[in-house]
Structure 1
Amino acid sequence: MERLNREGVPKLLDGIADATAWEAKRSAIEERWLAFIGGLPERVPLRYDVLAETEEERHTRIHLRYDSVDGDLVTAYLLVPKRKPSASSGGRLPAIMALHQTANEGKAEICLPTGTANRRYGLELADRGYVVLAPDTITAGERVYEGAAPFRTAPFYERYPAWTAVGKMIADHRQGVDLLASLDCVDADRIGAIGHSLGGYNAIFLAGADERIRAVVSSCGFATFAGDPNPNRWGRRDWFSHIPALTDELERGTVPFEWHEIAALAAPTPLFNWSGQADAIFPHWEPIAEAMRDLHGLYARLGAPERMLSLDGTSGHDFPGPVRAAAYDFLDRWLAREED
């Protein structure tokens, strides 16, 4: 365990002389991570039901629900562009898991014109030519527990005291990747993930758990324990409890990992990260930037420095237009073909 409130983040490559040493360290980080999130169950066979279809000008929006682990059902929007892929791309399009932020509306926030400005990245990517799957996370959209308010995880922990909301979200999203990969219109080798805030770190977590994710965009979704004025945001709370056992570690003055170590599980998957220096939710932008620099050093050691781009600017907890444009260009570089 590491001591909390250290002056800086631990260095990913300290004592790492070669690729074999990194793989050993990566395996140790992954083992610790899986233990704290309660593990990831095997995926269940793909099954989904179409609930409704809506024709928009440039895409078709399909309202569906798909099976997930523990007998659960995930509600989602599937946005299928009307543009035809080129013959040279095999007649298939790149696809995106679009993960929403902490918004009661869930998937609607990022897929409908009624969504908040700077949050409609699911809609924008569909109109850019990506097949988009935008699921409701547990406690949001159509998946709020009966008798509970949005983002209240108490009913989940009553049923699964040894599991975590983080583990559940990753498991649900892996099932979503199964769905995308099964579609005739999707190139299963060109699936990415994008999200803002809650959706941003879920995109990073998903990439670390599923090698089918070939590019990741996280907006205001990365933070560190180091310098965080509220590190228990990740632990046991009255509303959305991510990983309850972290509270016990924090009370002892320790943390089991630093967050760039978890992001490193996905390396060298192409990663675009955006952080705002005026972010009131994650205000500790300096250690966040330090962690990103250290993570980029790992990408360089792995021979892929061009696969990571981390930006920070003066805005708040937002996904501004110029940053989204840069993020979409990044996805195009790694997922789209010139012919698409």
Structure 2
Amino acid sequence: MKAIWDNIRGLDLLTDLPFVSTNRGFGCIGHSLGGHNGLFTAAFDSRITVIATSCGFDSFRDYYGGSPTVWQPEKGWCQQRYMPRLAEYRGRLDAIPFDFSEVLALIAPRRTYVSAPRGDSNFRWDSVDRVVAEARVLAAELGVSAKIVVEHPDSPHRFPSEQREEAYRIIGEVLRP
């Protein structure tokens, strides 16, 4: 995804600005597209030391309840702006070579906050719990602890203010001296 490269270049720019302190790294917060773009970027750039994601992921198998209608060109994850080659896995989602459990394990041991609303029709909250459980196992196999906090607000595909405030608090804990 081009967005990962763009985000990394944005971090490069921030790093070069004389008034930006990079001593404690960078925080990233995002909702939906911003939520998974942040996760992907953090997996590839360790300068992101804390991340908050809202309605940003579940297992590819569970996306929109596993409906095959979203696994075709220009739908869901298969859009040109995302990962169009995922359309090749329609009808065989278990063959996708990675899932968000691996992405989260790569981010560990950095702090990660996840808001996964119970009413989100894109990303299932119970799938998020399974992905996080798998990520914890994978992180342990890598010799690190997955520092992931998950909340399930009673909300649709939104980032409720209470969860945003918690995300800001966690980011502040990591980034403030």
Matched AA of 1:236: P
Which residue of the other structure, out of 121, 124, 134, is the alignment partner of 1:280?
121
> Does residue 320 of the first structure (1) align with residue 160 of the second (2)?
yes
- Which one is further off, 190-199 or 258-267? 258-267
Match of 2:16 in 1: 182
Trace 1:75-224 onto structure 2 (pairs within 5 A).
166=1, 168-189=2-23, 190-224=25-59
In structure 1, C-alpha distance between the alignment counterparts of 2:102 and 2:57, rounded to whole Å: 12
1:286 offset after TM fit, Å?
A: 1.3
Matched AA of 1:214: T
CA-to-partner distance for each residue in 1:21-74, whole Å, 9 max, x for gaps? Answer: xxxxxxxxxxxxxxxxxxxxxxxxxxxxxxxxxxxxxxxxxxxxxxxxxxxxxx
CA contact (8 A) 1:217 1:271 kept: yes
CA-to-partner distance for each residue in 1:214-234, whole Å, 9 max, x for gaps? Answer: 111111111212333246757
Matched AA of 2:118: Q
In structure 2, C-alpha distance between the alignment counterparts of 1:173 and 1:194, rounded to whole Å: 12
> Does residue 250 of the first structure (1) align with residue 90 of the second (2)?
yes
Determine which structure has the larger strand proportion and give its number. Answer: 1
Determine which structure has the larger helix proportion and give its number. Answer: 2
How many equivalent pairs are there? 169
Closer, same or farther in 2 for the Cα pair 1:238/1:296, shift >3 Å?
closer
Specify every segment of 5 or more residues in structure 1 that has no aligned partner in the other structure, as ranges. 1-165
Matched AA of 2:57: F
Closer, same or farther in 2 for the Cα pair 1:244/1:329, shift >3 Å?
same
1:263 offset after TM fit, Å?
A: 2.6
CA-to-partner distance for each residue in 1:267-323, whole Å, 9 max, x for gaps? Answer: 2221111101101222x2212211112223445664435x32122222111111111
In structure 2, C-alpha distance between the alignment counterparts of 1:193 and 1:234, rounded to whole Å: 28
Trace 1:286-297 onto structure 2 (pairs within 5 A).
286-297=126-137
In structure 1, C-alpha distance between the alignment counterparts of 2:83 and 2:48, rounded to whole Å: 23
In structure 1, C-alpha distance between the alignment counterparts of 2:42 and 2:117, rounded to whole Å: 22
TM-score, L = length of structure 1? 0.46
Match of 2:62 in 1: 227
In structure 2, C-alpha distance between the alignment counterparts of 1:299 and 1:311, rounded to whole Å: 20
The one of the two structures with greater contact order (alpha-carbon pairs below 8 A, sep at least 6) is 2
- Which one is further off, 292-301 or 263-272? 292-301
In structure 2, C-alpha distance between the alignment counterparts of 1:277 and 1:313, rounded to whole Å: 6
> Does residue 267 of the first structure (1) align with residue 81 of the second (2)?
no
Match of 1:18 in 2: none
Closer, same or farther in 2 for the Cα pair 1:216/1:234, shift >3 Å?
farther
CA contact (8 A) 1:270 1:308 kept: yes
Greater Rg, structure 1 or structure 2? 1
Closer, same or farther in 2 for the Cα pair 1:264/1:300, shift >3 Å?
closer
In structure 2, C-alpha distance between the alignment counterparts of 1:326 and 1:231, rounded to whole Å: 35
Report percent identity of matched pairs. 31
1:324 offset after TM fit, Å?
A: 0.8
TM-score, L = length of structure 2? 0.84
